[in-house]
Structure 1
Amino acid sequence: MKIFSQSMSTIETALNQTSLKQKVISQNVANVDTPGYKAKDVKFKDSFESALANNMQTFRTDSRHYELNRQEPNGAEVYAKRGVSFNESGNSVDMDQEMAELAANQIKYNALIDRMSGKFSSLQNVIKGGR
């Protein structure tokens, strides 16, 4: 029996992805002065598109409804950024870009934590019987 809804699992997956993005950004920032270091990034779009591309089998109440699948996304892929400029030491970390990505990732993470907190608050309310 599944106690928690699918949305909690989806939020958990998104939190794991933002956590991975945070680690990759932190690694880039830590190696900003390392000669020859190639900046890294994380790809989520491919796993999202592959999940959408799979035809899913679900119960449909109307033939006009889309078919969906409950298959988990393949995950994220960490890769070295391409098409970036290198400084004289061969390093490709751009601190301005990394800080902007860090801020955007932090906003996503905070929104996901807020949503998960709301889910647990709703669950707590149900357990208490609405009191």
Structure 2
Amino acid sequence: MFQNLDVFRTAMAMARHAGERQAYSAQNIANADTPGYRAKHLPDFQDTLRGALVTQRATREKHLNGSTERSVQIFETKDEMDPNGNTVSLELEMVTAVNAKREHDRALAIYRNSLSVIRASLGRN
């Protein structure tokens, strides 16, 4: 009955997105001194979610339109290059990592609060 609540799917997607952003930020930091490396970033979660809600998406393999996979466009930073062609900004990556942690914490808070609302509605505090 409570397995198909959208709030849980959204919270899970938000936590997954935050994890992916953190992974790209860590990869960018690891390659901060690699010549010619281009920093990779994910768009914000709200932009990703908005795009997913606008486009058609199949729920089963046999559907004619849409696809079952949700693809997120990864974009590379192309401005402010170092002399060696590297586009990683450690300051920007630190901010991105902090924002990813906040996004993940927000997703967990939404999940926890939704569980407490369901427990309260069932009379199981």
TM-score, normalized by length of structure 2?
0.73
The 5-angstrom pairing of residues 68-83 of structure 1 reads 74-82=70-78
Note the residue ranges of structure 2 that are not aligned, 5 or more in a row. 57-67
Q: Structure with the greater relative contact order (CA < 8 A, sep ≥ 6): 1 or 2? A: 2
TM-score normalized by structure 1?
0.70
Q: How much does 1:21 deviate?
A: 0.8
Aligned equivalents of 2:84 and 2:7: distance in 1? 46
- List runs of 5+ in structure 1 lacking aligned partners: 55-71
Q: Which residue of 2 aligns with 1:118?
A: 113
SS in 1 for 2:74: strand
Query: Quick one: structure 1 residues 9 and 103, their matched pair in 2 at CA, closer, same or farther if it must change by over 3 Å?
Result: same
Aligned to 2:64: none
Identity, % of aligned positions: 19
Q: Where does residue 33 of structure 2 map in the other structure?
A: 33
Cα RMSD between the aligned structures? 2.7
Q: List aligned pairs for 1:1-131, cutoff 5 A.
A: 3-44=3-44, 45=47, 48-49=50-51, 51-52=53-54, 74-82=70-78, 84-125=79-120, 129-131=123-125
1:49 CA drift (Å): 3.3
CA distance in 2, matches of 1:47, 1:10: 9
Q: Determine the C-alpha separation between the residues in 1 that align with 2:80 and 2:49.
A: 27
Count of residues in correspondence between the two structures: 113
**Contact 1:25–1:102 at 8 Å: present in 2 too?**
yes
What is the CA-CA distance between 1:79 and the residue it aligns to? Answer: 2.4
- Rounded Cα–Cα distance in structure 2 between residues aligned with 1:46 and 1:125: 32
**Letter aligned with residue 76 of structure 1:** V
